[in-house]
Amino acid sequence: MRYSAPDLDTVSLPGRFLWGARYALYGARIVVTHPSLWWTVIVPVFLTLMMFVLGFWSIGVLLPWLTTFVWVPGPHHAKWIWIAYEIVLWTFRLSVAVALGVLLYFTAGLVATPFNDRLSERVERVVLGWRGETVSLGQMLRDLWWSFVHSVLSLVVYLAVLFVAFLLNLLPGIGSVASFLLGSIASGLFFTREAMDGSFSRRRMSYRYKWRVVLRHWPMALGFGLCVSLAMWVPFFNFLVLPMSVAGGTLMYCHLEAAGQLPSE
């Protein structure tokens, strides 16, 4: 393997956290230095951008047209009615834009699922020299389907945890700190599970076992996931973060597997 792996038996908990962050950086290097992987990044990024463009075009063009079927003040109405109408209209537009942005943000990862699975497989084969079994088209589609189902399930759980974290802000004093910690930990673990899911699903692991792997190595998972979470805040670069994290998550899983660090079934 051309990327070094830690001897976890000799690494402290802070050291494992830092190793997790290192795997996130490894993922970026893998994608950048292997042109054969670029198409698995470019295609989902293009599809995601098209979703955003069409979505916000609908808000700017179709939404005003649809509101004409509800009610529009006429020339005989007072000026204050027109002002109130514009305020309500723009408030509605902004609300829809925010809701659409959040929806597209979370569905972008689901749209990219088949490409991320392909990227993960290519990382194992091209970068790590893996020569695993050749599966049939039907089995590949079944693996992809379960990967998609598990990603949706994780998204639901993640949103539920974030809702609980939001409610913690209502507690005076310690509530905001608890909310921040819970949200950060959930984000770190969620992103790590998603990044490793391609390798998980090709080995037909159950949803519960996938989480057992992540939680057994929670210091590395947090280091990896928090590094990915921070990178997601960088404008425009965040579209590239997900596939890069998949490459890094695949490498991390393969190192754990090779070292015999997976929990028993």
Under 8 Å between Cβ of 5 and 259: yes
Distance between CA 26 and CA 24 in Å, rounded? Answer: 5
Q: Give the chain's radius of gyration (CA, Å).
A: 22
SS3 of residue 70 by DSSP: coil
SS3 of residue 77 by DSSP: coil
Written as one letter, the residue type at 12 is: S
At what angle are helices 218-231 and 207-216 packed, to 10 degrees? Answer: 100
Instruction: Please provide the DSSP assignment of 153-168 as one string.
Output: HHHHHHHHHHHHHHHH
SS3 of residue 6 by DSSP: coil
Token pair in block for residue 204: 């037909």
Task: Give domain limits for the chain.
Answer: 11-258
What is the pTM for the complete model shown? 0.76
Distance between CA 113 and CA 242 in Å, rounded? Answer: 10
pLDDT in tens, the chain (265 residues): 467 788 888 889 999 999 999 999 999 999 998 898 888 888 888 887 787 777 777 767 766 666 666 666 777 777 888 788 777 777 766 766 666 655 665 666 667 778 888 888 888 887 777 655 555 666 667 777 777 788 888 888 888 888 888 888 777 768 778 888 888 898 889 989 988 988 888 888 888 999 999 999 999 999 999 998 888 777 767 778 888 899 999 999 999 988 888 887 7
